[in-house]
A and B are shown apart, each in its own frame.
Chain A
Amino acid sequence: MTPPSRTIVPIEAVTPETPSTVTLRFPWTAGARPGQFVMVWIPGEDELPMSLSYPEGPLGGVTVKAMGETSRKIQDLRRGDRIGIRGPYGTPFDLTPHRVLIVAGGSGAAVLAPAAEAARREGHSVDVALGAVTAGELLFRERFERMGARVEVATDDGSEGTRGYVTPVADRLLEGNPYDALWTCGPEVMMRRVADRAERAHVPVICSVERQMKCALGLCDACALGPYHVCVDGPLLPWERLKDLEEFGRSYRDPAGRRKAYGPGRP
C-alpha cells in the first residue's frame, strides 16, 4: 500500500466558467479517471477535496464554486502560482452503460462533464438534465452540447429552460427513455429525489457525494457517511447503498465530527 504522493504544479490557466465558478488547469500525468478526485493544496491556506473536471491530462483541471473562504482564495489564484495536488483518489465511473441520463445541479456538472465525455467516446448516448439558479450559472452547458449530448435545462429564475428545479426535467426524461444508468451530482436533497424516481423506473443510480475531508486515505473518519468513507468507498456511491442511510440528504458532519442538519433544501 503506497498511496499517491503529493506533487507541486504551476497553474497553467485560470478560466472563469460562470460568474461563480472557475477552472484551474495544471500539468497532470497521474492519469485519473472520470469520477475521481484530488486533494488540492493552496499553500498557506488550506487543502480541499475537488473532483477532477479534466481528469485525464496532460492538463488536469478542477472546477470550483465560490463557496466558503478557501474557494474564494482559489478564485484569486493566477497563472504561474504553485499548488499541491495529491491523488487521484476514489472510485471512477463504470463506463459500460449504453444510455446514460446525467442529472447535474449547480457545480455538480464539474464531475459529470468528463464522465459524459468518456461515455460519448465509448459511443454511448448521453442525455443531460442541467440545473442552476440562473442562465449564466449553467456550468459546462456548451461542453455537454459539443460532445453530442442532448441537454435540457432548468433554472430557478426561469431565465432559461424550465423554470424551477431540475428534478421535473429529470422525471420527464426518465418517463420517455429507456436509460440503463443515471449519474447525478448536486445538492443531496436533489439527488435523493432524482434517485427515488429512477429507482421506480428501474434505472440504476450513481451519486457523486461530498463530505468533509481530511486525510483522503480512509483513516481519519472525517468523511464518514453511515458505514462508508466517501474518500475510499466513494465519492461515487450507488443509490442502493445510500437510500437507507438516514444522513444522506439530511445531515453532514462538521470538521469536529458533529452532526449538522442540511438547511431547508432544494427538492
Chain B
Amino acid sequence: MADLTVDLAGVPLRNPLLLASGIWGETGASMASAYAAGAGGVVTKSIGTAPRTGYANPTVEPLGPVGFLNAMGLPNPGIEEYPAEIDVARAGGAPVIGSIFAATPREFAALARRMAETGVVALELNLSCPHARGFGSEIGRDPRRVERIVRSVVGAVDLPVLAKITPNTADPAGLARAAERGGAHAISAINTVRALAIDVDLARPILAHGLGGLSGPAIKPVGLACVWQIYEAVQIPIVGIGGIGSAEDALEYLLAGARAVQIGTALSGPGVALFGTIARELSARLDALGIDRWEAAVGRAHRPAPGPSAARSPFPGPSRMAEPRGTP
C-alpha cells in the first residue's frame, strides 16, 4: 500500500485529504465526523472577530453538473464562541487548521493569536472569499496587502500559516509569491471562482447577494492551472483546492504541484464517507502507478520523462522520484 502520509509545512497528516473551509466546518461534531470518516485533517469555517449571520438566502444555487454557486457571506459564530467547536473536533482526534478572515493586517494578527490559542495545528488566511465587502479577495487580490497581512500574522503566531489565494485575478502566482515573501509556510489555492446566475423569468440574480463564487467540477481545470503556475513560482508547499471529488482528481493536483488537497463541494451526496473512499482509491492508484509515496510525486507533471520512454513509463522508478524539486 502506498504511503499517503504528508508533512505539510511541518504538520504531519495521515493523508493529504483535508476538509475544505466553509464545508461542514461550523460545528465541532461535523469536523470530528469528517476526520472519523477518513479525512487527513479539517479546515474550519472562516472565523472572524465578531459573529456574522451572513447573507440572506438564497445563498446557494445548484448548477447541475457544473457545481454550485454560493454567496454565504462568511457566516460564523465569532472567535469568542468558536473555540468550543474546535475542542469537539480535536477531541475526535482531528488535526484542525483554523481559517480566519479580517480586514487589516493588525486585525488578522489579533485574530490569529486568538485562533492559535485554541490548539489548531496551523492557520489558513482567507484572502480570497470572492463576495464579501472589505474581506477576502477584495483585499487579497492586491499582492502588497497579501504580503503585509501574511507578514503580520507570521510575526504574531508560532504556527504554520497557509495563505489561501484567489483565482479571480490575472496573476495568482504573483499573489502566491507575495505571500511567500511575507513568510507564508504554504499556499492554499484556489477559493471559488467569481460567478453569477440570473433567473430569466424574474430578470434578477438568483443569489440574494447577486455575485457569488463557483465551486465543483467546473473549476477543477482552473484550480489545476493556478496550482501549476504557483508551483513554478514559489518554493513553499501548495494545498490544491477546486473540484476534487475522486482519487484521480487528487492525483492531477498532486502532479500539478499540490502536496495536499482540500475537498468540499463533492461531499454533497456521499457526505464525508467520500474521504475514506478517496483515500482507499488513492492508495490503490498510486500502487498501480508504481509510486510508493504520495509525497514523492509532488509536481511530477512539470518534468515528464523525455523521449519515447515517456509513453511506456511516466514514473520511471524510485531513483528518479527522489529527485529534488526544480531539477530539469
A-B contact pairs, 13 of them (CB 8 A): A5-B62, A41-B57, A43-B204, A47-B58, A214-B72, A215-B268, A218-B271, A220-B23, A256-B54, A257-B45, A257-B75, A259-B77, A259-B81
CB distance from A213 to the nearest CB of B (A): 8
Contact of B30 among A1, A44, A227 (CB under 8 A): A227
CB distance from A118 to the nearest CB of B (A): 26
Q: Using a CB-CB cutoff of 8 Å, which residues 190-218 of chain A contact chain B?
A: 214-218
Q: Using a CB-CB cutoff of 8 Å, which residues 143-196 of chain A contact chain B?
A: none
Bound form: Cα–Cα A45–B72 in Å: 16
Bound form: Cα–Cα A41–B60 in Å: 11
Q: Using a CB-CB cutoff of 8 Å, which residues 1-35 of chain A contact chain B?
A: 1-6, 8
Asked if residues B57 and A46 are in contact (CB atoms below 8 Å), the reply is yes
Contact of A221 among B23, B64, B208 (CB under 8 A): B23
Q: Using a CB-CB cutoff of 8 Å, which residues 41-93 of chain A contact chain B?
A: 41, 43-48, 82, 84, 86
**What 0/1 readout, one digit per residue, does chain A (237-260) give for beta carbons within 8 Å of chain B?**
000000000000000011111110
Please tell me the number of chain B residues within 8 Å of chain A, measured between CB atoms: 47
Chain B's closest residue to A215 (CB) is B60
CB distance from A200 to the nearest CB of B (A): 28
Judged by a CB distance under 8 angstroms, whether B51 is at the interface is yes
Contacts of A2 in B (CB 8 A): 62, 64-65
Q: Given contacts A8-B202, A221-B23, A255-B53, are A41 and B58 in contact (CB under 8 A)?
A: yes
Q: Given contacts A219-B267, A256-B77, are A214 and B27 in contact (CB under 8 A)?
A: no
Judged by a CB distance under 8 angstroms, whether A95 is at the interface is no
Best-buried of B22, B24, B54, B57 by chain A (most CB within 10 Å): B57
CB distance from A230 to the nearest CB of B (A): 12
Bound form: Cα–Cα A5–B197 in Å: 12
Q: Given contacts A222-B75, A256-B54, are A1 and B45 in contact (CB under 8 A)?
A: no
Contacts of B206 in A (CB 8 A): 6, 41, 84
Asked if residues B26 and A222 are in contact (CB atoms below 8 Å), the reply is yes
Contacts of B24 in A (CB 8 A): 219, 221
Contact of B271 among A3, A214, A216, A232 (CB under 8 A): A232
Asked if residues B26 and A218 are in contact (CB atoms below 8 Å), the reply is no
Bound form: Cα–Cα A33–B206 in Å: 26
Contacts of B266 in A (CB 8 A): 1
Bound form: Cα–Cα A110–B29 in Å: 30
Using a CB–CB cutoff of 8 Å, the interface residues on chain A facing chain B are 1-6, 8, 39, 41, 43-48, 82, 84, 86, 214-222, 224, 226-227, 229, 232, 253-259
Bound form: Cα–Cα A35–B78 in Å: 34
Contacts of B72 in A (CB 8 A): 214, 220
Best-buried of B30, B58, B265, B269 by chain A (most CB within 10 Å): B58
Contact of A257 among B59, B77, B202, B265 (CB under 8 A): B77
CB distance from A38 to the nearest CB of B (A): 13
CB distance from A148 to the nearest CB of B (A): 39
Bound form: Cα–Cα A39–B61 in Å: 11
Contacts of A222 in B (CB 8 A): 26, 75
Asked if residues A43 and B202 are in contact (CB atoms below 8 Å), the reply is yes
CB distance from A244 to the nearest CB of B (A): 12
Assuming A46-B56, A221-B23, what are 15 further A-B pairs, CB within 8 angstroms? A3-B269, A4-B62, A8-B201, A39-B58, A43-B202, A47-B58, A214-B60, A215-B268, A217-B68, A219-B24, A219-B267, A221-B30, A227-B33, A257-B27, A258-B78
Contacts of A227 in B (CB 8 A): 29-30, 32-33
Contacts of A4 in B (CB 8 A): 62
Judged by a CB distance under 8 angstroms, whether B199 is at the interface is yes
Judged by a CB distance under 8 angstroms, whether B14 is at the interface is no
Judged by a CB distance under 8 angstroms, whether B41 is at the interface is no
Asked if residues A253 and B27 are in contact (CB atoms below 8 Å), the reply is yes
Chain A's closest residue to B85 (CB) is A257
CB distance from A130 to the nearest CB of B (A): 31
Judged by a CB distance under 8 angstroms, whether B264 is at the interface is yes
Bound form: Cα–Cα A43–B58 in Å: 9
Judged by a CB distance under 8 angstroms, whether B25 is at the interface is yes
Contact of A224 among B26, B58, B78, B269 (CB under 8 A): B26
Q: Given contacts A224-B27, A255-B75, are A219 and B61 in contact (CB under 8 A)?
A: no
Judged by a CB distance under 8 angstroms, whether B52 is at the interface is yes
CB distance from B233 to the nearest CB of A (A): 31
Contacts of B70 in A (CB 8 A): 215, 220
Contact of B268 among A41, A43, A218, A255 (CB under 8 A): A218
Judged by a CB distance under 8 angstroms, whether B324 is at the interface is no
CB distance from A170 to the nearest CB of B (A): 30
Chain B's closest residue to A10 (CB) is B201
Contacts of A253 in B (CB 8 A): 26-27
Contacts of B64 in A (CB 8 A): 2, 5
Asked if residues A256 and B51 are in contact (CB atoms below 8 Å), the reply is yes
Contacts of B45 in A (CB 8 A): 221, 257
Bound form: Cα–Cα A18–B76 in Å: 37
Asked if residues A84 and B75 are in contact (CB atoms below 8 Å), the reply is no
Judged by a CB distance under 8 angstroms, whether B328 is at the interface is no
Bound form: Cα–Cα A195–B26 in Å: 29
